[in-house]
Structure 1
Amino acid sequence: MSRRRSIFSFAASSRSDRDDQPTDDTSDGSGTGISATPETPQTSSSSRARRPIAPTAATIRANAPREAHERIVFQRMPNGALMEPVGLAKACTKAFKRVDNPGGYTWRLTPPDVKELYYAELQKEFSWSPADELEVRAMWEVKASKRYSDMMSDYKRKLRAHTDAGREMDRPVWMSAEFWTGLKAYWSQEAVQAVSERARANRMSEPDGPGTGISRHVGGSRSTRVLQQSLVSNYQINS
C-alpha cells in the first residue's frame, strides 16, 4: 500500500512541476518558440454574412439569348409527330415583354411585323431542323396566340378586381404608360365589354345541366398536347 501511495505522489508532483513551468502558446514544444502550425486569422460569422455573393451564371443569363449549344431542340415523338418542347409558353411570355407592341391589345390586333419579332425571339431559346420550319411555326402560332390572350385576360381580371374594390391598379412594369392607357380604354369599349361578358357567361355555364357545376381545366400547368406527348413517350401509345 505504501509503495502504491509513493507512485501516486511522484506522478502528482511531476504534473505540478510541469504546470509551474512557463509556457509559450506559440511554441511547438522544442523550446525554440516557433509555432509548428502558423496561426490563421479567424473570420467572424458577421463578416462572412456581409461578403457580397457573386451572381450565378443562371442569373447573368436570365434574359440573355441562349448559346447555340444550349438551345432547346424541337424533337419528334416515336409516332413521328413534332413534340411541343417544355418552356415554349414561358418563351412566348418573355418575348411579349421584350418587344414593344403598340396597339396590340389582342393577338388579332398585333401587327404582323411585331409577330415576326416575337418569332425571332423564339429562335434565341430554341432550335429546330429547317425541314420542320412550317410545323414549328404553326405550333408557335397556336401557343403564342393562346398565351397572349390568357395574359391579357389575366390583366383584365386583375383590373376589374381593383376597380370593384375602389383601388387603382399599378401598371405592369413591362408595359409602357401609353400602352397601358390604351389597353384600359380598349377594354372599356361597349362592344369589347359585350364580347367579354358573353365569353364569361360561357365559361360559367354548366354543360351537364343545372347544378352539375361549371367545366374547369384540371389538367395542371401542362397543356393537353404535352400530356399526350408524355403518354406516347412513356407508354409507346400511338396517337
Structure 2
Amino acid sequence: MTKVFKRWMIPEGYCWKSVPPHQKDQYWRQWKIFFRWDDALPEDLVRAAYDRLAGTRYTALMHKLKKNRAQPVYVTDEAWRRYLQYWESEDFQARSRQATENRNTEVEGPGTGPRSTVVVPCHLRLPKKDWLVFFNI
C-alpha cells in the first residue's frame, strides 16, 4: 500500500484528510491491481477496510517523512516544500503541542488512557484464516 502512495505523492497530501477524493480513488484503483480478495466479499466492504488501513499507512508514511526531515527521491520538490511549510505552520505546531499534552495526561492514573474498539456484527466477521489473507499478513 505504501508503495502505491510513494508513486503518487502530491503537494496537498500532507495528511490523509487533506488528500483529495480523486487522489484517494487513484490510490484505490492502483492498490486493486496488486491485491486480490475473495469474490464473495463485496467490493464496498473491501473498500471500507482499505480506507481505514490506507489512512493508517499514509499517516505512518507522513510521520516518517516528518521525523527524518530528509527529502526522499519519490517526493517532488513542490510536494516537499508544501509538507515542510505545513509542518512548520503555527496551526500544526499548536496541534502537535496539544496532542503531546493529551498523550501525557491520564486523569485516573497511569494506564487508564483512552481505548478504542470496533464492534463488527458477527455476520460481517471473516474467519481468522481469511482475515490474515485479506490483510496480507
Q: What TM-score does the superposition give when structure 2 sets the normalisation length?
A: 0.72
The one of 51, 74, 80 aligned to 1:174: 74
Q: What is the distance in 2 between the residues matched to 1:172 and 1:122?
A: 22
Q: Rate the CA distance shift 1:132–1:199 in 2: closer, same or farther, 3 A.
A: same
**What one-letter code is carried by the residue in structure 2 that aligns with 1:115?**
K
- Partner residue of 1:74? none
Q: Which has the higher contact order (CA 8 A, sep 6+)?
A: 2
Question: Following TM superposition, by how much is the alpha carbon of 1:127 offset from its aligned partner in structure 2, in angstroms?
Answer: 1.9
4+ residue runs over 4 A deviation: 228-233
Q: Indicate whether 1:96 and 2:5 are aligned.
A: yes
- Deviation digits for residues 85-115 of structure 1, max 9, x if unmatched? xxxxxxx211101124231111111111111
- Deviation digits for residues 44-100 of structure 1, max 9, x if unmatched? xxxxxxxxxxxxxxxxxxxxxxxxxxxxxxxxxxxxxxxxxxxxxxxx211101124
Question: Following TM superposition, by how much is the alpha carbon of 1:230 offset from its aligned partner in structure 2, in angstroms?
Answer: 4.7
The one of 125, 130, 134 aligned to 2:34: 125
Highest CA radius of gyration, 1 or 2?
A: 1
Q: Indicate whether 1:155 and 2:55 are aligned.
A: no
The one of 181, 184, 191 aligned to 2:84: 184
**Is the contact made by 2:16 and 2:58 (CA closer than 8 Å) also made in structure 1?**
yes
Q: What TM-score does the superposition give when structure 1 sets the normalisation length?
A: 0.44
- Structure 1 runs not aligned, ≥5 long: 1-91, 160-169, 216-227, 234-239
- Percent of aligned pairs with the same residue? 34
The one of 43, 46, 51 aligned to 1:141: 51
Cα root mean square deviation, aligned? 2.8
**What one-letter code is carried by the residue in structure 2 that aligns with 1:187?**
W
- Structure 2 runs not aligned, ≥5 long: 114-125, 132-137
**Is the contact made by 2:12 and 2:79 (CA closer than 8 Å) also made in structure 1?**
yes
